[in-house]
């Protein structure tokens, strides 16, 4: 880098921007694609990435961020596992003069000066899209529609917002009711076990709304094991549109998927360079997304990268 030989041994002055990134974990296909996107984009952008996996634990994320501060990285980015409890560590980063970028998930901090920008999806809108589709399917009908909801990680922005958007969308239709709502922690394994329990305790289930593909795919295993046909006996709506989800959609086991893009890497690297250079950036940067029906999934699958 431009630091030259004289700086050898200083640890960071080879001219490369150093980005510390604390990832949630590896809970889903979405997360794996997101991690790949960030690692690839960092390499492409010539950014030195210090990547840390928190295994779903907030205390590990806080530890990682503190260690990035000690190492004096240039920029810190992270995808907060839950929304609350970040003020103190973010204040430390600010005091150390290290800009922070929120990636994928939001925090509930009132002090917006604690981070430079928030890059990611509109999760409320995703929930609304899911609910709107269901309302449309039941247009003109008054028969009861019993919905089971599999929530994401308790306290995580996508779980809070996808629940909220969906509830708002179905609100005007009193025949559509969420009869059960439980967390499956965004994983396939928990989606399966939670659904097994719900299938036993809930006699009439018309619809499953899962906050991500993986929980939906786990639930599909439970539904099939109970002798029911996913996508026919129970209408299934999920969020993400990763390859396994899209395949199940094309196969008729899922009925509708709201897309949430994990490909945040290139935009994140661009933002890291800008905030490092002291440029002002938009405080909120939204990802562009679409929705998929079964027919649309069949058409999109051959080119689907993740
Ligand atoms: O939908 C889910 C993942 O935060 C948008 O986290 C992300 C969510 C994604 O585990 O699959």
Please report the DSSP string for 91-113 in residue order.
HHHHHTT--EEEESS----S-GG
Does the beta carbon of 105 lie inside 6 Å of ligand 1?
yes
Distance 143 CA to ligand 1 centre (A): 33
CA gap 199, 180 in Å, rounded? 10
Contact 271, 101 (CB under 8 A): yes
Give this prediction's pTM: 0.95
Kindly state the percentage of the chain with pLDDT values over 90: 94
**pLDDT above 70 for 243:** yes
The residue whose CA has the least distance to atom 8 of ligand 1 is 158
Mean pLDDT within 132-161 = 98
**pLDDT above 60 for 138:** yes
**pLDDT above 50 for 207:** yes
| Res 7: pLDDT | 42
pLDDT in tens, 14-44: 789 999 999 999 999 999 999 999 999 999 9
pLDDT in tens, 93-119: 999 999 999 999 999 999 999 999 999
When pLDDT is cut at 50, 70 and 90, the band that residue 11 belongs to is very low
Q: Is 258 strand, coil or helix?
A: strand
Terminal CA-to-CA distance of the chain, rounded, Å?
33
Does the beta carbon of 30 lie inside 6 Å of ligand 1?
yes
Does the beta carbon of 212 lie inside 6 Å of ligand 1?
yes
Four-CA torsion 142, 148, 154, 157, nearest 10 degrees = -50
Distance 13 CA to ligand 1 centre (A): 35
| Res 14: pLDDT | 74
When pLDDT is cut at 50, 70 and 90, the band that residue 1 belongs to is very low
CB atoms < 10 A from the CB of 126, how many?
Answer: 23
| Res 2: pLDDT | 39
pLDDT in tens, 145-154: 999 999 999 9
| Res 3: pLDDT | 38
Q: Name residues whose C-beta falls within 8 Å of residue 134's C-beta, 6 or more positions apart in sequence.
A: 145, 147, 169, 170, 176, 207, 209, 235, 237, 256
For residue 291, the Cα-to-chain-centroid distance in whole angstroms is 15
pLDDT in tens, 59-78: 999 999 999 999 999 999 99
Residue 24 token pair: 């949630």
CA gap 279, 123 in Å, rounded? 27
For residue 24, how many C-alpha atoms fall within 13 Å in the half-sphere facing its CB?
Answer: 28
ipTM of the complex: 0.99
Does the beta carbon of 83 lie inside 6 Å of ligand 1?
no
Does the beta carbon of 158 lie inside 6 Å of ligand 1?
yes
| Ligand 1, atom nearest to 213 Cα | 11
> Mean pLDDT across the chain, nearest whole number?
95
| Ligand 1, atom nearest to 187 Cα | 10
Distance 56 CA to ligand 1 centre (A): 12
| Res 13: pLDDT | 59
């Amino acid at each position: 880098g431009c630091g030259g030989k004289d700086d050898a041994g200083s640890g960071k002055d080879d001219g490369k921007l150093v980005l510390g990134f604390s990832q949630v974990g590896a809970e889903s296909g979405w997360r794996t694609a997101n991690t790949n996107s960030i690692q690839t984009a960092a390499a492409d952008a010539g950014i030195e990435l210090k990547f840390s996996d928190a295994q779903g634990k907030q205390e590990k994320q806080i530890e990682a961020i503190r260690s990035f501060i000690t190492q004096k990285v240039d920029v810190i980015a992270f995808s907060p596992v839950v929304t609350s409890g970040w003020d103190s560590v973010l204040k430390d980063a600010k005091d150390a003069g290290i800009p922070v970028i929120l990636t994928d998930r939001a925090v509930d901090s009132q002090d917006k000066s604690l981070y430079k920008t928030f890059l990611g999806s509109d999760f409320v809108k995703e929930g609304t899209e899911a609910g709107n589709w269901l309302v449309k399917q039941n247009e003109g009908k008054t028969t009861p529609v019993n919905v089971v909801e599999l929530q994401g990680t308790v306290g995580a922005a996508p779980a809070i917002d996808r629940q909220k958007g969906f509830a708002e969308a179905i609100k005007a239709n009193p025949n559509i009711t969420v009869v059960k709502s439980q967390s499956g922690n965004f994983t396939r394994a928990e989606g399966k076990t939670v659904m097994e329990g719900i299938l036993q305790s809930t006699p009439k289930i018309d619809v499953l709304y899962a906050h991500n593909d993986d929980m939906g795919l786990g639930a599909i295993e439970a539904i099939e094991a109970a002798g029911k046909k996913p996508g026919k006996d129970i209408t299934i709506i999920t969020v993400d549109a990763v390859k396994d989800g899209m395949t199940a959609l094309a196969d008729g086991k899922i009925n509708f998927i709201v897309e949430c893009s994990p490909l945040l890497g290139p935009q994140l690297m661009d933002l890291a360079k800008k905030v490092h250079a002291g440029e002002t950036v938009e405080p909120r940067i939204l990802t562009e997304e679409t929705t998929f029906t079964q027919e649309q999934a069949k058409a999109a699958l051959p080119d689907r990268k993740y």
